[in-house]
A and B are shown apart, each in its own frame.
Chain A
Amino acid sequence: MSAAGRVFAALGGIALAWCLAGLCGRDIGRMPQVVRGEGALAVAFGDARETISRAFVGKADSYFHGGIDMDCGHLGHHRHDEHCEDECHEHDHGHAHGHDHEAEHETANESLDLWRWINVHVCAPQEHRHLDGEKSVELMPWLWASVKANPHNIEAWTTTWYIANNMLKDKELALRVVAEGLEKNPDNPELLICRGRTIYDRGHGDLAAAHAAFVAAVASADGMLQRGGDETDERILRARDFAQAYIDEIAKKRGPPPDAKE
Protein backbone atom coordinates (compact mmCIF):
# COMPACT_ATOMS: atom_id res chain seq x y z
CA MET A 1 0.00 0.00 0.00
CA SER A 2 1.26 3.48 -0.80
CA ALA A 3 2.20 5.98 1.94
CA ALA A 4 -0.91 8.04 1.16
CA GLY A 5 -3.01 4.88 1.39
CA ARG A 6 -1.55 4.05 4.79
CA VAL A 7 -2.19 7.55 6.10
CA PHE A 8 -5.75 7.37 4.76
CA ALA A 9 -6.29 3.93 6.34
CA ALA A 10 -4.87 5.13 9.68
CA LEU A 11 -7.16 8.19 9.65
CA GLY A 12 -10.10 5.96 8.76
CA GLY A 13 -9.26 3.61 11.61
CA ILE A 14 -9.02 6.48 14.09
CA ALA A 15 -12.34 7.88 12.88
CA LEU A 16 -14.01 4.48 13.17
CA ALA A 17 -12.58 3.93 16.66
CA TRP A 18 -13.86 7.37 17.65
CA CYS A 19 -17.33 6.48 16.35
CA LEU A 20 -17.38 3.16 18.18
CA ALA A 21 -16.17 4.78 21.39
CA GLY A 22 -18.94 7.35 21.03
CA LEU A 23 -21.54 4.65 20.49
CA CYS A 24 -20.29 2.38 23.29
CA GLY A 25 -20.03 5.29 25.70
CA ARG A 26 -23.78 5.68 25.59
CA ASP A 27 -24.25 2.08 26.76
CA ILE A 28 -21.72 2.02 29.59
CA GLY A 29 -24.30 3.35 32.03
CA ARG A 30 -26.49 0.36 31.24
CA MET A 31 -23.90 -2.32 31.98
CA PRO A 32 -25.47 -5.41 33.55
CA GLN A 33 -25.05 -6.48 37.13
CA VAL A 34 -22.93 -9.45 38.06
CA VAL A 35 -24.66 -12.73 37.12
CA ARG A 36 -24.39 -15.35 39.80
CA GLY A 37 -23.19 -18.89 39.14
CA GLU A 38 -20.02 -20.90 38.98
CA GLY A 39 -20.73 -23.19 36.02
CA ALA A 40 -18.84 -23.37 32.73
CA LEU A 41 -21.12 -20.75 31.17
CA ALA A 42 -20.45 -18.38 34.06
CA VAL A 43 -16.71 -18.82 33.71
CA ALA A 44 -16.75 -18.47 29.93
CA PHE A 45 -19.15 -15.58 29.57
CA GLY A 46 -19.41 -13.94 32.98
CA ASP A 47 -21.69 -10.93 32.95
CA ALA A 48 -22.09 -11.24 29.21
CA ARG A 49 -24.68 -13.94 29.97
CA GLU A 50 -27.03 -11.27 31.22
CA THR A 51 -26.76 -9.41 27.93
CA ILE A 52 -27.01 -12.62 25.91
CA SER A 53 -30.05 -13.64 27.92
CA ARG A 54 -31.73 -10.28 27.29
CA ALA A 55 -30.86 -10.55 23.60
CA PHE A 56 -32.66 -13.89 23.43
CA VAL A 57 -35.72 -12.38 25.06
CA GLY A 58 -35.47 -9.65 22.43
CA LYS A 59 -35.32 -12.31 19.76
CA ALA A 60 -38.45 -13.95 21.15
CA ASP A 61 -40.08 -10.52 21.10
CA SER A 62 -39.16 -10.05 17.45
CA TYR A 63 -40.61 -13.50 16.68
CA PHE A 64 -43.81 -12.45 18.38
CA HIS A 65 -43.96 -9.58 15.87
CA GLY A 66 -43.14 -11.69 12.84
CA GLY A 67 -39.38 -11.29 13.00
CA ILE A 68 -39.41 -7.53 13.40
CA ASP A 69 -37.31 -5.82 16.07
CA MET A 70 -39.63 -3.55 17.96
CA ASP A 71 -37.06 -2.26 20.47
CA CYS A 72 -39.71 -1.80 23.09
CA GLY A 73 -40.06 -5.17 24.76
CA HIS A 74 -43.58 -6.19 23.78
CA LEU A 75 -43.45 -9.47 25.56
CA GLY A 76 -42.67 -7.67 28.76
CA HIS A 77 -45.96 -5.80 28.45
CA HIS A 78 -47.79 -9.04 27.87
CA ARG A 79 -46.63 -10.46 31.13
CA HIS A 80 -48.65 -10.99 34.23
CA ASP A 81 -48.01 -7.55 35.66
CA GLU A 82 -51.09 -6.08 34.05
CA HIS A 83 -54.15 -7.74 35.37
CA CYS A 84 -56.00 -7.70 32.09
CA GLU A 85 -57.44 -10.11 29.59
CA ASP A 86 -55.26 -11.36 26.71
CA GLU A 87 -57.43 -9.76 24.08
CA CYS A 88 -57.07 -6.42 25.80
CA HIS A 89 -53.24 -6.70 25.69
CA GLU A 90 -53.11 -7.65 22.08
CA HIS A 91 -55.53 -4.97 21.10
CA ASP A 92 -53.47 -2.32 22.86
CA HIS A 93 -50.24 -3.46 21.31
CA GLY A 94 -51.62 -3.82 17.84
CA HIS A 95 -52.89 -0.30 18.07
CA ALA A 96 -49.70 1.19 19.45
CA HIS A 97 -47.36 -0.43 16.97
CA GLY A 98 -49.61 0.16 14.05
CA HIS A 99 -48.73 3.81 14.51
CA ASP A 100 -45.02 3.03 14.70
CA HIS A 101 -45.03 1.31 11.33
CA GLU A 102 -46.95 4.07 9.67
CA ALA A 103 -44.50 6.59 11.06
CA GLU A 104 -41.60 4.54 9.72
CA HIS A 105 -43.05 4.42 6.23
CA GLU A 106 -43.81 8.12 6.31
CA THR A 107 -40.25 8.95 7.35
CA ALA A 108 -38.85 6.81 4.57
CA ASN A 109 -40.98 8.54 2.01
CA GLU A 110 -40.48 12.04 3.32
CA SER A 111 -36.71 11.96 3.67
CA LEU A 112 -36.10 10.54 0.17
CA ASP A 113 -33.41 8.35 1.66
CA LEU A 114 -33.08 5.55 -0.92
CA TRP A 115 -31.22 3.27 1.46
CA ARG A 116 -33.90 3.64 4.10
CA TRP A 117 -36.62 3.13 1.51
CA ILE A 118 -35.00 -0.17 0.46
CA ASN A 119 -34.52 -1.27 4.04
CA VAL A 120 -38.09 -0.48 5.01
CA HIS A 121 -39.39 -2.51 2.08
CA VAL A 122 -36.98 -5.43 2.27
CA CYS A 123 -36.69 -5.83 6.00
CA ALA A 124 -39.72 -4.24 7.61
CA PRO A 125 -43.27 -5.54 7.54
CA GLN A 126 -46.10 -4.01 5.61
CA GLU A 127 -48.56 -4.77 8.40
CA HIS A 128 -48.58 -5.26 12.12
CA ARG A 129 -48.71 -8.90 13.08
CA HIS A 130 -48.57 -11.05 16.20
CA LEU A 131 -48.02 -14.72 16.70
CA ASP A 132 -51.02 -16.24 18.43
CA GLY A 133 -52.38 -19.54 19.68
CA GLU A 134 -50.33 -22.63 18.95
CA LYS A 135 -47.94 -20.71 16.73
CA SER A 136 -46.53 -18.99 19.79
CA VAL A 137 -44.64 -22.21 20.54
CA GLU A 138 -42.09 -20.68 18.10
CA LEU A 139 -41.05 -18.31 20.88
CA MET A 140 -40.12 -21.10 23.25
CA PRO A 141 -36.62 -21.99 21.92
CA TRP A 142 -35.41 -18.39 22.31
CA LEU A 143 -36.80 -18.11 25.81
CA TRP A 144 -35.29 -21.46 26.69
CA ALA A 145 -31.94 -20.19 25.42
CA SER A 146 -32.46 -17.01 27.43
CA VAL A 147 -32.95 -18.83 30.75
CA LYS A 148 -30.06 -21.16 29.93
CA ALA A 149 -27.81 -18.15 29.44
CA ASN A 150 -28.99 -16.54 32.66
CA PRO A 151 -31.23 -18.68 34.89
CA HIS A 152 -31.92 -15.60 37.03
CA ASN A 153 -33.58 -13.67 34.24
CA ILE A 154 -37.01 -13.55 35.83
CA GLU A 155 -38.49 -11.69 32.89
CA ALA A 156 -37.59 -14.64 30.65
CA TRP A 157 -39.19 -17.13 33.03
CA THR A 158 -42.39 -15.16 33.45
CA THR A 159 -42.63 -14.52 29.70
CA THR A 160 -42.26 -18.24 29.06
CA TRP A 161 -44.91 -18.93 31.63
CA TYR A 162 -47.22 -16.36 29.98
CA ILE A 163 -46.86 -18.03 26.60
CA ALA A 164 -47.46 -21.51 28.02
CA ASN A 165 -50.36 -20.46 30.20
CA ASN A 166 -52.18 -17.80 28.18
CA MET A 167 -51.21 -18.39 24.56
CA LEU A 168 -50.65 -22.12 24.32
CA LYS A 169 -53.24 -22.76 27.06
CA ASP A 170 -51.05 -25.59 28.35
CA LYS A 171 -51.38 -25.51 32.14
CA GLU A 172 -49.07 -28.49 32.61
CA LEU A 173 -46.32 -26.82 30.61
CA ALA A 174 -46.87 -23.54 32.47
CA LEU A 175 -46.51 -25.25 35.85
CA ARG A 176 -43.41 -27.08 34.62
CA VAL A 177 -41.83 -23.80 33.53
CA VAL A 178 -42.62 -22.17 36.87
CA ALA A 179 -41.29 -25.18 38.79
CA GLU A 180 -38.05 -25.02 36.82
CA GLY A 181 -37.84 -21.28 37.37
CA LEU A 182 -38.42 -21.64 41.11
CA GLU A 183 -35.74 -24.31 41.27
CA LYS A 184 -33.22 -21.75 39.99
CA ASN A 185 -34.80 -18.81 41.85
CA PRO A 186 -36.32 -20.19 45.07
CA ASP A 187 -39.22 -18.21 46.54
CA ASN A 188 -39.24 -15.63 43.78
CA PRO A 189 -42.51 -13.74 44.29
CA GLU A 190 -43.13 -13.17 40.56
CA LEU A 191 -42.78 -16.87 39.79
CA LEU A 192 -44.96 -17.78 42.79
CA ILE A 193 -47.64 -15.46 41.40
CA CYS A 194 -47.36 -17.22 38.03
CA ARG A 195 -47.87 -20.56 39.74
CA GLY A 196 -50.83 -19.13 41.67
CA ARG A 197 -52.44 -17.74 38.52
CA THR A 198 -52.18 -21.05 36.69
CA ILE A 199 -53.68 -22.92 39.61
CA TYR A 200 -56.35 -20.23 40.12
CA ASP A 201 -57.31 -20.53 36.44
CA ARG A 202 -59.46 -17.41 36.47
CA GLY A 203 -61.46 -18.67 39.35
CA HIS A 204 -62.07 -22.14 37.98
CA GLY A 205 -59.10 -23.87 39.57
CA ASP A 206 -58.00 -25.03 42.99
CA LEU A 207 -58.66 -21.92 45.07
CA ALA A 208 -56.96 -23.24 48.20
CA ALA A 209 -53.73 -24.13 46.40
CA ALA A 210 -53.78 -20.85 44.48
CA HIS A 211 -54.36 -18.95 47.68
CA ALA A 212 -51.35 -20.71 49.25
CA ALA A 213 -49.17 -19.71 46.31
CA PHE A 214 -50.25 -16.04 46.49
CA VAL A 215 -49.71 -15.98 50.25
CA ALA A 216 -46.23 -17.43 49.71
CA ALA A 217 -45.60 -14.74 47.09
CA VAL A 218 -46.60 -11.98 49.50
CA ALA A 219 -44.45 -13.48 52.27
CA SER A 220 -41.49 -13.80 49.91
CA ALA A 221 -41.93 -10.22 48.66
CA ASP A 222 -42.14 -8.93 52.23
CA GLY A 223 -38.99 -10.83 53.12
CA MET A 224 -37.12 -9.40 50.11
CA LEU A 225 -38.28 -5.89 50.87
CA GLN A 226 -37.16 -6.24 54.47
CA ARG A 227 -33.73 -7.50 53.44
CA GLY A 228 -32.87 -4.22 51.82
CA GLY A 229 -33.79 -1.95 48.98
CA ASP A 230 -32.31 -2.03 45.54
CA GLU A 231 -33.55 -1.30 42.08
CA THR A 232 -35.84 -4.36 42.22
CA ASP A 233 -37.94 -2.80 45.01
CA GLU A 234 -40.52 -1.37 42.67
CA ARG A 235 -40.93 -4.63 40.87
CA ILE A 236 -41.25 -6.57 44.12
CA LEU A 237 -43.72 -4.06 45.50
CA ARG A 238 -45.79 -4.38 42.37
CA ALA A 239 -45.65 -8.19 42.61
CA ARG A 240 -46.70 -8.02 46.23
CA ASP A 241 -49.69 -5.80 45.40
CA PHE A 242 -50.59 -8.09 42.57
CA ALA A 243 -50.49 -11.19 44.79
CA GLN A 244 -52.51 -9.38 47.43
CA ALA A 245 -55.15 -8.48 44.81
CA TYR A 246 -55.49 -12.13 43.96
CA ILE A 247 -55.71 -13.08 47.65
CA ASP A 248 -58.53 -10.54 48.03
CA GLU A 249 -60.27 -11.85 44.90
CA ILE A 250 -60.09 -15.42 46.20
CA ALA A 251 -61.41 -14.28 49.57
CA LYS A 252 -64.38 -12.69 47.79
CA LYS A 253 -65.04 -15.86 45.82
CA ARG A 254 -64.94 -17.96 48.97
CA GLY A 255 -67.30 -15.59 50.69
CA PRO A 256 -67.06 -14.33 54.27
CA PRO A 257 -65.57 -16.68 56.86
CA PRO A 258 -68.11 -18.58 59.07
CA ASP A 259 -67.46 -16.42 62.15
CA ALA A 260 -68.09 -13.24 60.13
CA LYS A 261 -71.54 -14.56 59.08
CA GLU A 262 -72.41 -14.99 62.73
Chain B
Amino acid sequence: MKLFARQTCALVKLSFIELWRRNDVFALVLLGLALMVPLSMATPFGAAGASRYLDEMALLLVWGFSLFVALGAGQRLFPPEFESRTIYPLLAKPISRGRLLVGKYIGAVAASWSALAFFYVLFVASVLLRGGAFSAELPQAVVLHFAFVALAVAVSLLGSLLVTASANLSLSAIVLVGMFFFGRRIPEYAEGLNPALAWILKGIYAVAPHAEFFDMRQRLIHGWGAVDGIVFVTVLVYAAVYVSVLLLLASLALGRKRL
Protein backbone atom coordinates (compact mmCIF):
# COMPACT_ATOMS: atom_id res chain seq x y z
CA MET B 1 0.00 0.00 0.00
CA LYS B 2 2.89 2.29 0.93
CA LEU B 3 4.60 1.38 -2.35
CA PHE B 4 1.42 2.09 -4.33
CA ALA B 5 1.00 5.42 -2.53
CA ARG B 6 4.57 6.45 -3.36
CA GLN B 7 4.23 5.32 -6.94
CA THR B 8 0.94 7.18 -7.31
CA CYS B 9 2.44 10.33 -5.78
CA ALA B 10 5.32 10.16 -8.26
CA LEU B 11 2.92 9.76 -11.19
CA VAL B 12 0.66 12.57 -9.94
CA LYS B 13 3.67 14.86 -9.60
CA LEU B 14 4.80 13.96 -13.13
CA SER B 15 1.37 14.84 -14.55
CA PHE B 16 1.25 18.11 -12.58
CA ILE B 17 4.71 19.19 -13.72
CA GLU B 18 3.95 18.34 -17.30
CA LEU B 19 0.58 20.10 -17.37
CA TRP B 20 1.74 23.32 -15.72
CA ARG B 21 5.08 23.53 -17.53
CA ARG B 22 3.48 23.02 -20.92
CA ASN B 23 1.79 26.42 -20.37
CA ASP B 24 -1.42 25.17 -22.03
CA VAL B 25 -3.45 26.34 -19.06
CA PHE B 26 -2.01 29.84 -19.18
CA ALA B 27 -2.59 30.03 -22.92
CA LEU B 28 -6.22 29.03 -22.33
CA VAL B 29 -6.62 31.64 -19.61
CA LEU B 30 -5.25 34.32 -21.94
CA LEU B 31 -7.65 33.18 -24.64
CA GLY B 32 -10.48 33.31 -22.12
CA LEU B 33 -9.54 36.82 -21.07
CA ALA B 34 -9.29 37.92 -24.70
CA LEU B 35 -12.88 36.74 -25.20
CA MET B 36 -14.38 37.78 -21.89
CA VAL B 37 -12.98 41.29 -21.42
CA PRO B 38 -14.56 42.76 -24.59
CA LEU B 39 -17.79 40.87 -23.83
CA SER B 40 -17.94 42.25 -20.30
CA MET B 41 -17.60 45.78 -21.65
CA ALA B 42 -20.45 45.42 -24.13
CA THR B 43 -23.80 47.15 -23.45
CA PRO B 44 -26.18 45.68 -26.02
CA PHE B 45 -28.52 48.39 -27.40
CA GLY B 46 -27.17 50.62 -24.63
CA ALA B 47 -29.09 48.60 -22.02
CA ALA B 48 -26.79 47.99 -19.08
CA GLY B 49 -27.28 45.45 -16.30
CA ALA B 50 -27.18 42.10 -18.14
CA SER B 51 -24.75 39.70 -16.53
CA ARG B 52 -26.07 36.18 -17.04
CA TYR B 53 -24.71 36.02 -20.58
CA LEU B 54 -21.25 36.72 -19.14
CA ASP B 55 -21.65 33.91 -16.61
CA GLU B 56 -22.87 31.66 -19.40
CA MET B 57 -19.94 32.48 -21.68
CA ALA B 58 -17.42 32.18 -18.84
CA LEU B 59 -18.83 28.80 -17.78
CA LEU B 60 -18.90 27.61 -21.39
CA LEU B 61 -15.21 28.53 -21.66
CA VAL B 62 -14.47 26.78 -18.35
CA TRP B 63 -16.18 23.64 -19.69
CA GLY B 64 -14.44 23.87 -23.05
CA PHE B 65 -11.04 24.47 -21.52
CA SER B 66 -11.46 21.71 -18.96
CA LEU B 67 -12.38 19.30 -21.75
CA PHE B 68 -9.32 20.39 -23.72
CA VAL B 69 -7.07 19.87 -20.69
CA ALA B 70 -8.66 16.54 -19.74
CA LEU B 71 -8.49 15.05 -23.23
CA GLY B 72 -4.88 16.20 -23.61
CA ALA B 73 -3.92 14.81 -20.21
CA GLY B 74 -5.53 11.44 -20.99
CA GLN B 75 -3.93 11.29 -24.42
CA ARG B 76 -0.46 12.05 -23.08
CA LEU B 77 -0.41 9.23 -20.52
CA PHE B 78 0.89 6.37 -22.65
CA PRO B 79 1.62 7.16 -26.31
CA PRO B 80 4.55 9.50 -25.50
CA GLU B 81 5.97 6.80 -23.21
CA PHE B 82 6.02 4.40 -26.14
CA GLU B 83 7.34 6.99 -28.59
CA SER B 84 10.18 8.13 -26.35
CA ARG B 85 10.75 4.52 -25.17
CA THR B 86 10.53 5.53 -21.52
CA ILE B 87 7.90 2.83 -21.05
CA TYR B 88 10.72 0.25 -20.86
CA PRO B 89 12.65 1.67 -17.90
CA LEU B 90 9.31 2.48 -16.29
CA LEU B 91 7.92 -1.06 -16.55
CA ALA B 92 11.33 -2.44 -15.57
CA LYS B 93 10.74 -0.81 -12.17
CA PRO B 94 8.69 -2.59 -9.51
CA ILE B 95 5.32 -1.52 -10.90
CA SER B 96 2.74 -3.63 -12.70
CA ARG B 97 0.95 -2.43 -15.81
CA GLY B 98 -2.33 -2.26 -13.91
CA ARG B 99 -0.88 -0.11 -11.16
CA LEU B 100 0.88 2.07 -13.70
CA LEU B 101 -2.40 2.60 -15.53
CA VAL B 102 -4.33 3.47 -12.38
CA GLY B 103 -1.51 5.65 -11.04
CA LYS B 104 -1.16 7.51 -14.31
CA TYR B 105 -4.92 7.95 -14.53
CA ILE B 106 -5.06 9.37 -11.01
CA GLY B 107 -2.18 11.69 -11.90
CA ALA B 108 -3.87 12.97 -15.04
CA VAL B 109 -7.17 13.47 -13.24
CA ALA B 110 -5.48 15.29 -10.35
CA ALA B 111 -3.59 17.56 -12.73
CA SER B 112 -6.73 18.27 -14.76
CA TRP B 113 -8.63 18.99 -11.54
CA SER B 114 -5.96 21.48 -10.53
CA ALA B 115 -6.43 23.29 -13.85
CA LEU B 116 -10.22 23.16 -13.43
CA ALA B 117 -9.95 24.54 -9.89
CA PHE B 118 -7.82 27.36 -11.28
CA PHE B 119 -10.45 28.11 -13.94
CA TYR B 120 -13.21 28.16 -11.32
CA VAL B 121 -11.19 30.48 -9.09
CA LEU B 122 -10.94 32.87 -12.03
CA PHE B 123 -14.64 32.45 -12.75
CA VAL B 124 -15.65 33.20 -9.16
CA ALA B 125 -13.26 36.16 -9.09
CA SER B 126 -14.85 37.53 -12.27
CA VAL B 127 -18.34 37.13 -10.78
CA LEU B 128 -17.32 38.88 -7.57
CA LEU B 129 -15.56 41.66 -9.50
CA ARG B 130 -18.79 42.35 -11.39
CA GLY B 131 -20.57 42.63 -8.06
CA GLY B 132 -22.31 39.28 -8.43
CA ALA B 133 -23.02 36.86 -5.63
CA PHE B 134 -21.84 33.35 -4.89
CA SER B 135 -24.53 30.82 -5.79
CA ALA B 136 -25.21 28.19 -3.17
CA GLU B 137 -25.29 25.46 -5.82
CA LEU B 138 -21.79 26.29 -7.08
CA PRO B 139 -19.99 23.63 -4.97
CA GLN B 140 -22.36 20.94 -6.27
CA ALA B 141 -21.87 22.13 -9.85
CA VAL B 142 -18.09 22.09 -9.37
CA VAL B 143 -18.14 18.55 -7.95
CA LEU B 144 -20.14 17.31 -10.94
CA HIS B 145 -17.75 19.11 -13.27
CA PHE B 146 -14.82 17.40 -11.55
CA ALA B 147 -16.57 14.06 -12.10
CA PHE B 148 -17.00 14.94 -15.77
CA VAL B 149 -13.28 15.69 -16.06
CA ALA B 150 -12.47 12.30 -14.52
CA LEU B 151 -14.74 10.69 -17.11
CA ALA B 152 -13.20 12.66 -20.00
CA VAL B 153 -9.66 11.65 -18.95
CA ALA B 154 -10.75 7.99 -18.87
CA VAL B 155 -12.35 8.25 -22.33
CA SER B 156 -9.21 9.83 -23.75
CA LEU B 157 -6.94 7.33 -21.98
CA LEU B 158 -8.80 4.37 -23.46
CA GLY B 159 -8.79 5.97 -26.91
CA SER B 160 -5.07 6.69 -26.69
CA LEU B 161 -4.39 2.96 -26.35
CA LEU B 162 -6.53 2.06 -29.35
CA VAL B 163 -6.06 4.71 -32.04
CA THR B 164 -3.63 7.44 -33.04
CA ALA B 165 -3.42 10.68 -31.07
CA SER B 166 -5.28 12.81 -33.61
CA ALA B 167 -8.01 10.20 -34.10
CA ASN B 168 -8.39 9.79 -30.36
CA LEU B 169 -8.64 13.50 -29.61
CA SER B 170 -11.10 14.06 -32.46
CA LEU B 171 -13.30 11.08 -31.60
CA SER B 172 -13.28 11.72 -27.86
CA ALA B 173 -14.14 15.38 -28.39
CA ILE B 174 -16.92 14.52 -30.85
CA VAL B 175 -18.43 11.93 -28.51
CA LEU B 176 -18.25 14.09 -25.38
CA VAL B 177 -19.27 17.38 -26.98
CA GLY B 178 -21.97 15.62 -28.98
CA MET B 179 -23.40 14.01 -25.86
CA PHE B 180 -23.02 17.25 -23.92
CA PHE B 181 -25.21 19.17 -26.34
CA PHE B 182 -27.45 16.48 -27.81
CA GLY B 183 -27.37 13.58 -25.33
CA ARG B 184 -30.65 14.42 -23.68
CA ARG B 185 -32.39 14.80 -27.03
CA ILE B 186 -31.39 11.46 -28.53
CA PRO B 187 -34.69 9.72 -27.65
CA GLU B 188 -36.52 12.62 -29.31
CA TYR B 189 -34.40 12.25 -32.44
CA ALA B 190 -35.00 8.50 -32.48
CA GLU B 191 -38.76 9.03 -32.68
CA GLY B 192 -39.95 9.13 -36.24
CA LEU B 193 -36.80 7.58 -37.69
CA ASN B 194 -36.95 4.18 -39.31
CA PRO B 195 -36.62 1.34 -36.78
CA ALA B 196 -33.01 0.44 -37.67
CA LEU B 197 -31.80 4.02 -37.24
CA ALA B 198 -33.84 4.44 -34.09
CA TRP B 199 -32.32 1.24 -32.73
CA ILE B 200 -28.79 2.54 -33.42
CA LEU B 201 -29.55 5.88 -31.79
CA LYS B 202 -31.04 4.16 -28.75
CA GLY B 203 -27.92 2.00 -28.54
CA ILE B 204 -25.74 5.12 -28.57
CA TYR B 205 -28.01 6.66 -25.93
CA ALA B 206 -27.60 3.60 -23.73
CA VAL B 207 -23.81 3.24 -23.84
CA ALA B 208 -22.28 6.61 -24.78
CA PRO B 209 -20.84 8.69 -21.94
CA HIS B 210 -23.59 11.06 -20.83
CA ALA B 211 -21.59 14.25 -20.47
CA GLU B 212 -24.82 16.23 -20.06
CA PHE B 213 -25.53 14.62 -16.65
CA PHE B 214 -22.74 16.74 -15.17
CA ASP B 215 -23.83 20.05 -16.62
CA MET B 216 -25.39 22.30 -13.99
CA ARG B 217 -24.58 25.52 -15.83
CA GLN B 218 -28.19 26.58 -16.40
CA ARG B 219 -29.03 25.93 -12.76
CA LEU B 220 -26.09 28.06 -11.75
CA ILE B 221 -26.78 30.90 -14.17
CA HIS B 222 -30.51 31.09 -13.60
CA GLY B 223 -30.48 30.30 -9.88
CA TRP B 224 -32.51 27.09 -10.01
CA GLY B 225 -30.96 25.78 -6.83
CA ALA B 226 -29.14 22.54 -6.11
CA VAL B 227 -29.91 19.14 -7.60
CA ASP B 228 -31.65 16.61 -5.33
CA GLY B 229 -29.17 14.63 -3.24
CA ILE B 230 -30.26 11.29 -4.69
CA VAL B 231 -29.81 12.55 -8.25
CA PHE B 232 -26.42 14.02 -7.37
CA VAL B 233 -25.22 10.73 -5.87
CA THR B 234 -26.63 8.77 -8.84
CA VAL B 235 -24.63 10.92 -11.26
CA LEU B 236 -21.45 10.41 -9.21
CA VAL B 237 -22.06 6.66 -9.11
CA TYR B 238 -22.63 6.72 -12.87
CA ALA B 239 -19.28 8.49 -13.33
CA ALA B 240 -17.50 6.04 -11.03
CA VAL B 241 -18.95 2.98 -12.77
CA TYR B 242 -18.28 4.38 -16.24
CA VAL B 243 -14.70 5.31 -15.35
CA SER B 244 -14.13 1.84 -13.85
CA VAL B 245 -15.36 0.15 -17.03
CA LEU B 246 -13.19 2.40 -19.19
CA LEU B 247 -10.14 1.71 -17.02
CA LEU B 248 -10.79 -2.01 -17.18
CA LEU B 249 -10.93 -1.83 -20.98
CA ALA B 250 -7.82 0.37 -21.01
CA SER B 251 -5.97 -2.13 -18.84
CA LEU B 252 -6.91 -4.91 -21.30
CA ALA B 253 -5.69 -2.74 -24.19
CA LEU B 254 -2.44 -1.93 -22.37
CA GLY B 255 -1.92 -5.59 -21.52
CA ARG B 256 -2.21 -6.47 -25.20
CA LYS B 257 0.26 -3.76 -26.25
CA ARG B 258 3.46 -5.30 -27.57
CA LEU B 259 6.54 -3.90 -25.93
Name A residues whose Cβ lies closer than 8 Å to a Cβ of B: 1, 5, 15-16, 18-19, 22-23, 26, 63, 66-68, 113-119, 121-123, 125-126, 129, 134, 137-145, 160, 164, 168, 170, 173, 176-177, 180
Within 8 A of A (CB), among B24-44: 42, 44
CB neighbours (8 Å) of B218 from chain A are 66-68, 123
Q: Is the interface of B mostly helix, strand, loop or mixed?
A: helix
B76 in the interface (beta carbon within 8 A):
no
A138 in complex: contacting residue of B42, B51, B216, CB < 8 Å: B51
A115 in complex: contacting residue of B51, B52, B205, B214, CB < 8 Å: B205
Closest to B174 in A: A16
Closest to A143 in B: B44
Best-buried of A19, A117, A173 by chain B (most CB within 10 Å): A19
Asked whether A119 lies within 8 Å of B227 as measured between CB atoms, the reply is no
B104 in the interface (beta carbon within 8 A):
no
**27 A-B residue contacts at CB 8 Å?**
A19-B193, A22-B193, A26-B192, A63-B222, A66-B222, A115-B210, A116-B187, A118-B235, A118-B238, A119-B210, A122-B144, A122-B215, A123-B215, A123-B218, A125-B224, A134-B49, A137-B48, A137-B49, A138-B53, A140-B50, A141-B44, A141-B50, A141-B53, A164-B45, A168-B47, A170-B47, A176-B46
1/0 per position for B176-203, CB-CB distance to A under 8 A? Answer: 0000000110010100111001001100
B47 in complex: contacting residue of A66, A68, A137, A145, CB < 8 Å: A137
* Least distance between B9 CB and chain A CB atoms (Å): 34
How many residues from B make CB contacts under 8 Å with A? 45
Cα A137 to Cα B45 in complex, Å, equals 10
Closest to A107 in B: B187
CB neighbours (8 Å) of A173 from chain B are 45-47
Asked whether B213 lies within 8 Å of A122 as measured between CB atoms, the reply is yes
Asked whether B231 lies within 8 Å of A142 as measured between CB atoms, the reply is no
Asked whether B50 lies within 8 Å of A177 as measured between CB atoms, the reply is no
Cα A113 to Cα B76 in complex, Å, equals 36
Name B residues whose Cβ lies closer than 8 Å to a Cβ of A: 42, 44-53, 144, 162-163, 183-184, 187, 189, 192-194, 197, 200-201, 204-206, 210, 212-219, 221-222, 224, 227-228, 231, 234-235, 238
* Least distance between B196 CB and chain A CB atoms (Å): 8
CB neighbours (8 Å) of B53 from chain A are 138, 141-142
17 more contacts with CB within 8 A, not counting A115-B210, A121-B227, are: A15-B200, A67-B217, A67-B218, A118-B234, A119-B184, A119-B210, A119-B212, A121-B228, A122-B212, A122-B216, A122-B219, A122-B227, A122-B235, A123-B215, A137-B48, A138-B51, A176-B45
Cα A143 to Cα B58 in complex, Å, equals 19
Asked whether B50 lies within 8 Å of A137 as measured between CB atoms, the reply is yes
Asked whether B221 lies within 8 Å of A67 as measured between CB atoms, the reply is yes
Closest to B192 in A: A26
Closest to A119 in B: B184
CB neighbours (8 Å) of B189 from chain A are 23
Asked whether A177 lies within 8 Å of B45 as measured between CB atoms, the reply is yes
CB neighbours (8 Å) of A160 from chain B are 45
Cα A63 to Cα B222 in complex, Å, equals 8
CB neighbours (8 Å) of B183 from chain A are 119
Cα A116 to Cα B42 in complex, Å, equals 38
CB neighbours (8 Å) of A122 from chain B are 144, 212-216, 219, 227, 231, 235
* Least distance between A199 CB and chain B CB atoms (Å): 18
Best-buried of A1, A122, A168, A177 by chain B (most CB within 10 Å): A122
Cα A176 to Cα B45 in complex, Å, equals 8
Given A1-B163, A22-B194, CB of A138 within 8 Å of CB of B213: no
Asked whether A67 lies within 8 Å of B194 as measured between CB atoms, the reply is no
CB neighbours (8 Å) of B197 from chain A are 18-19, 22
CB neighbours (8 Å) of B215 from chain A are 122-123
Cα A219 to Cα B221 in complex, Å, equals 45
